Amino acid sequence: MSYRTLRDRTFELLEAGGAGKPVSWIVDMGLAVLILANVAAAVLETVPEYRALYGNAFIRFELISVAIFTIEYILRVWSSTAQPHLAQLGPIRGRLVFMSRPFPVIDLIAIVPFYLHVFFGLDIKAFLALRLLRLLKLARYSTALTTILKVIVQERVALFGALLLMLVTLVISSTVMFVIEHEVQPDKFGSIPETMWWAMATLTTVGYGDVTPITTMGKAFGGLIMIFGLALFALPIGILATGFQQEIHRREFVVTWGMVARVPAFQHLSAGEVAEIMRLLNTRRHRRGELIMTPGDPATEMFFISSGEVQVAYDGGPSSQLAEGDFFGERGILGEGRRRGRATALTDVMLLVLESADLERIMARNPGLRAQVTGQELADE
């Protein structure tokens, strides 16, 4: 096996795999389980009873884990130049660029505490928090976590604005309360920095109660800060929720666009025309084993598989298994005759349905679209 082939296969195994590639999926799941086991071990190691009974086992497990994570990191860096855009930068610069990315940085931080302890004699317990950062490695194997991190990066300007507003409110409320309560409670409101503890506990609505105003004006101002704190700390939550929703919709849009554009009748449509057709799609769910279409049914719609698997057979011929991203029932969009195929849900499926009546209304307003759609040869059912 050549150097390049070995590098490319290593990259595919570690970085470009997934559920569709069994060996890569096994590696991903194995590393995910090891990460969870490491976090559990780091937490349990802080319990004196467990440390006394299983101290040697914890040490051996740490050694094995660090060895695996180190090999994983080295292989990821080495195989990173399998990516064309990094290969163009050269073997050294391309790998340095890869190492500066968030996930490789997390991978490096996950093993650094051990080597600091071995080579510099530093107490590894001081780096417990860094060891627990191995939990962040799970983001590589979770689409949801990756999406959240992406949203945080995308919304960093709005989040920074919200943080700045929080800091301004913290300083102002601390200053005002210091002026109000300083004379009557110099031990608790002795300075603005000391008063910030009260402001933080009040703005976050935690309300520890160890520092409270006693004057009428102080209580009134404190109540106002409580109400304002509820709205203030809901701001970043709203920013993240909106960003997360937009990211999900953006991803769904791209996937749906790809499915629609693959249909032979739609391949030569403009971006605006494809988007117009996408707005016609309706969602339909089918349980496992349900019939989606049967021979003799009116052919008045076509189907795109958003999730799940469907078995389709035409005219008693061999059946085919379709999955997410596939489509079937193409002639249904033109309402031509009756179905000649049978489609059965192999799993719970969600379909995007395009009805011929909806498409006809658009084509009636756009004769050019009609010419393009009807002028393309549709696959037989």
- The pLDDT assigned to 381 comes to 42
Domains of the chain (ranges plus CATH)? Answer: 3-141 (1.20.120.350), 156-248 (1.10.287.70), 269-375 (2.60.120.10)
* Model confidence pTM above 0.75: no
- The pLDDT assigned to 379 comes to 41
In whole angstroms, give the CA distance from residue 315 to residue 360.
27
In whole angstroms, give the CA distance from residue 150 to residue 244.
9
Question: What is the crossing angle of helices 48-79 and 22-44, to 10°?
Answer: 150
The pairing of beta strand 341-345 with beta strand 310-314: antiparallel
In whole angstroms, give the CA distance from residue 213 to residue 257.
59
Which strand (E) or helix (H) includes residue 305?
strand 301-307
In whole angstroms, give the CA distance from residue 203 to residue 195.
12
For residue 245, give every residue at least 6 positions away whose Cβ sits within 8 Å of its Cβ, in sequence order, or none.
none
Average pLDDT for runs of 10 along the chain of length 381: 83 66 82 88 87 89 91 92 86 91 86 79 60 74 73 87 91 93 90 91 83 90 88 86 78 72 72 78 87 84 86 80 83 68 88 82 71 52 42
- The pLDDT assigned to 136 comes to 75
Token pair listed for 174: 């601390």
Which of 343, 344, 333 shows the shortest CA–CA distance to 378? Answer: 333
